[in-house]
Homo-oligomer: A and B are copies of this chain.
Amino acid sequence: MTKELQLFQQHVARNGCHQSVKRERVLEIFLETQSHVSAQELHGLVRKKYPGIGYTTVYRTLKMIADSGLAVEVDFNDGVKRFERKLGRDLHAHFICTKCGRGFEVFDEGIKKISLSLAKRKKFSLQKLRYELFGVCRECSRS
């Protein structure tokens, strides 16, 4: 059993939920993703391998995955919620291209430091942060 599955099962148990094979399948596929996915997109991926799993289950499981701390939400400002794996302690930003709509990942440590100090200053307990940059990507600015 992977460390992620273990964490997920713990979260499930802690919330008085039953085990479920389908949820494990959804988690499995989610963990294979390399970047942000929406519930719809994840459902598409899940269906390829496990056709018997419906959208609602994927939707709800994705939420549970995020609640369990294995995923974080990212927002490209297009009305669709996307999630991506939370990899270790890496905090990263997203560049969202306002022309082509793609999202690029950028890693940086400074943001975290600043965020923690701001939170401390305001006596705010920090749960998560969102840091996204909008602009035009290199390719789009050529054309």
Contact = CB atoms under 8 A, between A and B. Distances in A.
Given A75-B75, A118-B106, A118-B108, A133 B126 contact: yes
Interface SS of A by simple majority:
strand
Contacts of A73: 77
Please classify how large the interface on chain A is, using the bins under 10, 10 to 19, 20 to 34, 35 or more.
35 or more
Total copies of the chain: 2
A77 B82 CA distance: 12
Given A93-B118, A118-B93, A134 B138 contact: no
B128 A104 contact: no
Contacts of A136: 124-125, 127
Interface string A100-143: 00001010101100110011011111111111111111100100
